[in-house]
């Protein structure tokens, strides 16, 4: 599937190494070898709707609206809103708040922003580059903050055949640890994922500001926290084979999409604060509400100079490989 460029900002590649960007520096400084192409510093008094759209409600429609998945596919407990009680800009930061509620039958309300319009057109999408968020996250059982990316178009099929890049997600009950994950494979239920946990050094916690980033090149994705490389991934796969609406387990190379699919398409950005769900379980009486995620900035870069060569697929086990 080719992506329509109507209303879409799609950026390309560059080449060089990276250096960490101290929080006090501006977005156009201190990033050797990179060119800033998009950012939100949250300097306005309101959310910039030319950059951000909202997901609303307690689920999403899939398969052209024929299926409704409650709890955003994870049995989450919140309804997302665009109310100023749940999402606003103050003091140069974006605030996302989760709080108890009886709205629309949901136990909680919160917010989820994305660089995509409600009609599916992109406000911003990019293939390859450096994607950087500086944020502080809420602590408490059942609070699930995430900074992540989904494909602008499902070029290889519905989730997770077209991929997902989780720059950072965290469980509020384990505040010293953050996760970075790739989701890929066939369409559900034959999808898979790989990732790694990172324990913040010096007894640090997610309640403090940290800079979370990925550097995404052809065939290679690297994760950073405060400029520290936390993991590199060079193995994944994608298959569009399906039986009805469900993905099937591929049986040969012929059923795989060409490497480095699915991570060779433009992705858009997402920021959200979920409550409960399969990933971490529900809140309890100890969970402080409102839970709040603050985002200081979001910045996206492309490499300067010659584009990196495609890295070959790294070591890993394909679904049809011998034991």
Query: What contacts 190, CB < 8 A, 6 or more positions away?
Result: 239, 246, 247, 248, 249, 319
Mean pLDDT of 72-85: 94
| Separation of alpha carbons 208 and 217, rounded Å | 29
- What is the CA angle 203-207-212, rounded to 5? 85
> Please, how many CA atoms are within 13 Å of residue 32, restricted to the half-sphere of its CB?
6
Q: What is the mean pLDDT of residues 80-101?
A: 97
**Of 76, 132, 164, 292, which residue is the catalytic one?**
164
For the record, the structure tokens of 279 come out as: 């990933």
Mean pLDDT of 70-74: 87
pLDDT in tens, 165-195: 999 999 999 999 999 999 999 999 999 999 9
Residue scoring higher pLDDT (72 or 270): 270
- In this predicted structure, the answer to whether residue 22 has a pLDDT above a threshold of 70 is no
pLDDT greater than 70 at residue 249: yes
Task: Give residue 213's pLDDT.
Answer: 98
Catalytic residue among 76, 169, 215, 292: 169
Compute the mean pLDDT over every residue in the chain, rounded to the nearest whole number.
89
Query: Residue 24 pLDDT more than 60?
Result: no
**Cβ proximity of 233 and 194 under 8 Å:** yes
Is there a catalytic annotation at residue 164? yes
Between 17 and 46, the higher pLDDT residue: 46
Cα distances (Å, whole numbers) of residue 106 to 62, 76, 101 = 21, 10, 7
- By CB atoms closer than 10 A (0-12, 13-18, 19+), residue 107 is middle
The pTM of this model reads 0.89
Tell the residue number behind the tokens 């596919």, with chain if given.
Answer: 73
pLDDT digits (tens, 9 = 90+) for 272-289: 999 999 999 999 999 999
The secondary element (H helix, E strand) that includes residue 166 is strand 164-169
* Helix/strand/coil for 115: coil
């Amino acid at each position: 599937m080719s992506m329509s460029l109507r209303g879409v900002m799609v950026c390309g590649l560059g080449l060089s190494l990276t250096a960490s960007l101290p929080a006090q520096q501006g977005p156009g400084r201190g990033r050797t070898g990179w060119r800033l192409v998009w950012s939100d510093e949250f300097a306005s008094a309101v959310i910039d709707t030319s950059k951000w759209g909202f997901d609303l409600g307690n689920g999403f429609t899939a398969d052209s609206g024929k299926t409704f998945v409650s709890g955003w596919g994870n049995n989450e407990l919140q309804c997302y809103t665009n109310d100023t009680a749940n999402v606003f800009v103050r003091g140069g930061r974006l605030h996302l708040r989760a709080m108890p509620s009886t709205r629309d039958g949901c136990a909680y309300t919160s917010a989820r922003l994305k660089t995509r319009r409600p009609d599916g057109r992109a406000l911003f999408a990019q293939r390859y580059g450096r994607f950087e968020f500086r944020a502080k996250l809420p602590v408490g059982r059942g609070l699930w903050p995430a900074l992540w990316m989904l494909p602008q178009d499902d070029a290889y099929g519905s989730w997770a055949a077209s991929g997902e890049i989780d720059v950072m997600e965290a469980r509020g009950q384990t505040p010293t640890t953050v996760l970075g994950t790739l989701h890929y494979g066939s369409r559900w239920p034959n999808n898979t994922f790989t990732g790694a946990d990172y324990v913040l050094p010096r007894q640090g916690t997610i309640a403090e500001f940290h800079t979370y980033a990925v550097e995404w090149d052809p065939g290679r994705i690297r994760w950073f926290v405060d400029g520290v490389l936390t993991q590199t991934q060079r193995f994944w796969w994608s298959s569009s084979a399906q039986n009805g609406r469900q993905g099937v387990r591929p049986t040969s190379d012929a059923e795989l999409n060409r490497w480095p699919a699915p991570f060779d398409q433009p992705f858009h950005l997402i920021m959200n604060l979920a409550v409960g769900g399969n990933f971490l379980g529900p809140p309890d009486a100890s969970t402080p509400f409102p839970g709040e995620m603050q985002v200081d900035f979001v910045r996206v870069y492309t490499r300067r100079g010659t584009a990196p060569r495609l890295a070959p697929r790294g070591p890993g086990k394909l679904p049809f490989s011998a034991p």
